[in-house]
Amino acid sequence: MMVACLSGLAFPSALHVGRPNIGDRSRLLARVEDMCERAWLSNDGPFVREFEQRVADLTGVRHCVAICNATIGLEIAIRAADIAGEVIIPAYTFVATAHALQWQGVTPVFCDIDPVTHTLDPASVERLVTPRTSAIIGVHVWGQPCPVEELTAIAHRHGLKLMFDAAHAFGCAHRGNPIGGFGLAEIFSFHATKFVNCAEGGAVVTNDDELAARIRLMRNFGFAGYDNVIYVGTNGKMSELSAAMGLTSLDCMPHIVQANRENYAAYRQAFRDLPGVSVIRYDETEAQNYQYIVLDIDPTTCPLTRDQLVQVLHSHNVLARRYFFPGVHRMEPYRSSYPDAHLVLPVTEDVVRRVVVLPTGTAVSPRDIEQIGQIVRWGLDRAGELRQRLPECIPPGGRFDEGWA
């Protein structure tokens, strides 16, 4: 018998982490109509330009170059900034941060993180600097800013370039300044699962005029006008359809933040007083997008393991996700290249086993969250029985909906 049947609390249809915020459909469709009328579908079209201007205005940077996705955005920025050799990045990130470097023939060096903010730990960064290091790429995980000042000081001290993977952090701020203006460049993702989305999309933002010009060229095969190619470029262009989606998403940004913020408050209420389970807090004195509801499961006090809790949630149609399990250093090709990396990443190793991300966004209501809280309470109340039935750990690639019968 499935646990879901026992509790009677299962959702009739799945609640996903990363469910896109669609925005105002009539505005989206009107833009699609315009696009069809103009018969201008890609290559630096009017929607892309408008999207770039609005992102630049919102982040207070001089240049925004829209890109087809953040992974290509990272690759282009890395190449345009002449980054080579070794680059220090957190092991606790989405694999794209490392792949973008590897794809450009640059070696990612995995660094440990702060246990509270989940962003790069400056002391660990400093220890990893070698004569081959050319740059640091911090990641604003969950929209929480990296220790920007400390990383800037380290970069200056060692003559390194500093960039930020800001895939999670559009709409967030650090010390009152919008994410986007820090380091040499910052890279946003506007993927479907992100706070503001273009279905697929990204952007490099920078205050460096020369870098912005190179990125623009590289995004379009290196063309500087008709028939004139002056760089090795790629195709990193954003389509008009993606920009139409992005503009519509920008239009409803305040509504999305509001929904996310209400959901965050509802989760904090629903998960109060649960043994070993806590919702990671946002600094509410800064602008936030509240796009990620992150649970920390303390293995010393929670009666179920993190993976058992995820199994309970999945059995009730709440498709919670482990992030970024098992850590980039344990994914190929990095696992084979650095088989001992985990030995110097104690915090990352701990965090990848503790974190669960829960559904939020405009598709989830505070009422749903109350029910998710009841499901978790139900699971914890029956921990003795469930521990006998559920595997303690699900390996990477394993399924959370097996073994319930």
Please report, as ranges, the residues that interact with ligand T4K according to CB under 6 A: 16-20, 69-71, 93-94, 96-97, 139, 165, 167-168, 189, 191-193, 202, 319
Find the shortest distance in angstroms from Cβ 228 to ligand T4K.
Answer: 29
Q: Is 268 exposed, middle or buried (0-12, 13-18, 19+ CB in 10 A)?
A: middle
Q: For residues 107 and 193, which CB has a smaller minimum distance to ligand T4K in the complex?
A: 193
Name every residue whose Cβ is closer than 8 Å to that of residue 8 and which is 6 or more positions away in sequence. none
Q: For residues 178 and 303, which CB has a smaller minimum distance to ligand T4K in the complex?
A: 178
Peptide bond connecting 326 to the previous residue in cis, omega within 30 degrees of 0 = yes
Q: For residues 192 and 224, which CB has a smaller minimum distance to ligand T4K in the complex?
A: 192
Q: For residues 359 and 373, which CB has a smaller minimum distance to ligand T4K in the complex?
A: 359
Find the shortest distance in angstroms from Cβ 292 to ligand T4K.
Answer: 10
Find the shortest distance in angstroms from Cβ 303 to ligand T4K.
Answer: 26
Find the shortest distance in angstroms from Cβ 195 to ligand T4K.
Answer: 11
Rounded to 5 degrees, φ, ψ at 369 are -70, -35
Find the shortest distance in angstroms from Cβ 338 to ligand T4K.
Answer: 20
Find the shortest distance in angstroms from Cβ 131 to ligand T4K.
Answer: 28
Secondary structure E strands in 122-227: 133-139, 161-165, 173-174, 177-178, 185-189, 202-206
Nearest residue to ligand T4K, using CB?
Answer: 18
Please answer whether residues 369 and 266 qualify as being in contact, where contact means their C-beta atoms are separated by less than 8 angstroms: yes
Distance (Å, whole) CA 145 – CA 178: 10
Distance (Å, whole) CA 359 – CA 306: 16
Q: For residues 364 and 380, which CB has a smaller minimum distance to ligand T4K in the complex?
A: 364
Please answer whether residues 59 and 178 qualify as being in contact, where contact means their C-beta atoms are separated by less than 8 angstroms: yes
Q: For residues 109 and 319, which CB has a smaller minimum distance to ligand T4K in the complex?
A: 319
* Residue in the structure block whose two tokens are 């299962």: 10
Q: For residues 68 and 312, which CB has a smaller minimum distance to ligand T4K in the complex?
A: 68
Q: For residues 237 and 386, which CB has a smaller minimum distance to ligand T4K in the complex?
A: 237
Find the shortest distance in angstroms from Cβ 304 to ligand T4K.
Answer: 22
Please answer whether residues 310 and 302 qualify as being in contact, where contact means their C-beta atoms are separated by less than 8 angstroms: no
Other C-beta atoms closer than 10 Å to the C-beta of 262 total 16
Q: Is 254 exposed, middle or buried (0-12, 13-18, 19+ CB in 10 A)?
A: exposed
β-bridge pairing 293-297 and 355-358:
antiparallel
Find the shortest distance in angstroms from Cβ 188 to ligand T4K.
Answer: 8
Rounded to the nearest 5 degrees, what angle is found at the Cα of 297, between the Cα atoms of 95 and 293?
60
